[in-house]
Structure 1
């Protein structure tokens, strides 16, 4: 198990999904880091591509503040599998995250993230997920 990969993933998960801390997320990226969400539809509050730490901070922050995405991750019911690759700077994580909203049953969202590191920071993160429609709230 690569502890750098594990720590990077845990820090990203904690700063983003748990704490919703855009500054914390941005700090995990290189200054010229890139966040990509290729499956996000055009016009979605989260841009498909954010380039540079400041753009990541602003874009992730706006996404986290959007009323349609005010959900809580049920960490106890969520799960992931991390895969190291032949490239020591690249790893992949498959995630099934359980989201709870203001009421109603929890919703499971499945996603895949591909990380490319440089000097211990995220140089590129491709986050493959189909976000909930911003016009609909998680129950």
Structure 2
């Protein structure tokens, strides 16, 4: 499997954020791929570093299973991203603003919630060899 940074990013987002399919997500990584969340504190409920496709598959399946069934999905019409090329053709950066619609309360619908993050992708043979995901740690349960 090969692809442009755009295609690789879209496959990753579809497998993870849209369908929450741990098998499909893991298949986006090389067999020895690494998924890191460097800003997570030590001892967080979610692992800070996952090494290998099978560890990524298992940890993400467990994480997806713990998510509430009625959790608000991102509003993909409002969500935006920009992909940045780097001097290294095997590295690209995704700058993402994920938007969740405001919750309804007694006064109507509240303000949208915007979650901004940066992901750094290192690609090998069309798959993710290393992904560093930088986001606010309090977003992970």
TM over 0.5: yes
Alignment of 1:1-139 (within 5 A): 4-67=4-67, 70-100=71-101, 105=110, 106-131=112-137, 132=139, 134=141
Q: What TM-score results when the alignment is normalised by the length of structure 2? A: 0.84
In 1, are the aligned partners of 2:46 and 2:140 still within 8 Å (CA)?
no
Q: What TM-score results when the alignment is normalised by the length of structure 1? A: 0.85
In 2, are the aligned partners of 1:45 and 1:62 still within 8 Å (CA)?
no
| Structure 2: stretches of 5+ with no match in the other structure | none
Residue aligned with 1:73, SS? coil
- For residues 71 and 16 of structure 1, the distance between their equivalents in structure 2, rounded to whole angstroms, comes to 15
Deviation at 1:4, TM superposition (A): 1.0
- For residues 30 and 133 of structure 1, the distance between their equivalents in structure 2, rounded to whole angstroms, comes to 24
| Structure 1: stretches of 5+ with no match in the other structure | 135-139
1:76 to 1:49, Cα distance in 2 relative to 1, 3 A:
same
1:68 to 1:129, Cα distance in 2 relative to 1, 3 A:
farther
Deviation readout 1:62-114 (Å, 9 max, x if unpaired): 22222369331110010001001111100001000013587564421100000
Q: Which has the greater radius of gyration?
A: 2
Q: What count of residue pairs does the alignment treat as equivalent? A: 132
